[in-house]
Amino acid sequence: MPRFLSGIQPSGRLHLGNYYGAIREHVRLQDQGEAYYFIADYHALTSLRDAKALRANVFDTAVTYLACGLDPDRCVLFRQSDVPEVTELTWLLLTVAPMAMLENAVSYKDKVARGIPADAGLFTYPVLMAADILSQDGDVVPVGRDQVQHVEMTRDVAAKFNREFGADVFKVPEYRLGEAPYVPGTDGAKMSKSYGNVVEIFAEGRELEKAVMGIKTDSSPPAAPKNPDDSTIYKLFSLVAPDEREALAARFRAGGLGYGDAKKLLLARVDAAFAPIRERGKALRADPARVEAVLAKGAVTARENARRVLARARKACGLS
């Protein structure tokens, strides 16, 4: 049975792009093998320097994943910083990680191009990610296309470490591309918190209505036929209510459906689809001790794994 390992950035309130792009797939993997998920608070320090906000984001991320279907009895959910062994593993891996490899990391170059300071934490981010994966003896890392390079770096560094020290210390993982769809935001671009174009998972009432009814459209009159493939409304509707997508597409093509009415249809489907998740989220927020217990339980298992891997690495290096 394969062991899956994936990290989750604690970026605050998550949205439909996060749900359809990652969360839904993570929930499915619970039935396909051993599923390990960590909330990457060490990683978050490369961009977030607010202790209160970080703690709140970690809690919110845990609540969201649990509300969306992660089952602590079928997976291991833990906080990255509760497994400090990964920091020592990061140093050991840094001793064999080529500078050229890190300089060519696409995520590093992209972030610097967007004005994020080029500090050592951001530069060595892929090695910490490698330590996260290798510390849990992960077999498969489910990723989007933008993360494939990081897993390839993990494979390269693990294999080099094993060669350099003449021991099979690290399991060399594979990556798996998920079936994540493209999720458009309310402005038609990719849904992203940084673009301010999101529909949040826990949004309800006026907040949800404002987000959905604010979706940008063209100036086609209600009577005009419309191409559903060009519509953000239709694309989101197809994700939320796939069984009804063909019927809505037919109404778009036939004409007579205004964008306002189409948005109301989408609003109703989003509200209904995520209502159970919202209710579970409210229950979890009202019981923070329950959420903390899940993370603490996951940390015990994750640290046991990391200690075994670190012991192998230290022995190979000649450390006491």
Domain ranges of the chain: 3-182+288-317, 193-282
Do 193-282 and 3-182+288-317 fall under one CATH topology?
Answer: no
The pTM of the whole model exceeds 0.85: yes
What is the length of the chain? 320
Residues of the chain with pLDDT under 50: none
Beta-carbon contacts of 109 under 8 Å, excluding residues fewer than 6 positions away, are: none
3-state SS, 68-131, equals CCCCCCCEEEEEHHHCCHHHHHHHHHHCCCCHHHHHCCHHHHHHHHCCCCCCHHHHCHHHHHHH
193-282 maps to CATH 1.10.3720.10? no
Report the alpha-carbon distance of residue 147 to residue 175 in Å, rounded.
9
Report the alpha-carbon distance of residue 72 to residue 209 in Å, rounded.
33
What's the pLDDT at 17? 95
3-state secondary structure of 296: helix
3-state secondary structure of 223: coil
**Tens digits of residue pLDDT in 196-218:** 999 999 999 999 999 999 999 99
* 26-46 residues labelled b (16+ CB within 10 A) or e (exposed): bbebbeeebbbbbbbbbbbeb
Q: Determine contact, residues 170/127, Cβ cutoff 8 Å.
A: no
- Fold (topology level) of 3-182+288-317: Rossmann fold (3.40.50)
DSSP string of 3-63, one letter each residue: EEEEEE---SS-BHHHIIIIIHHHHHHTTTSEEEEEE-HHHHTTT---HHHHHHHHHHHHH
Q: Determine contact, residues 17/185, Cβ cutoff 8 Å.
A: yes
What CA–CA distances, in Å, run from 248 to 23, 226, 237, 256, 262?
A: 26, 11, 9, 12, 9
What's the pLDDT at 178? 75
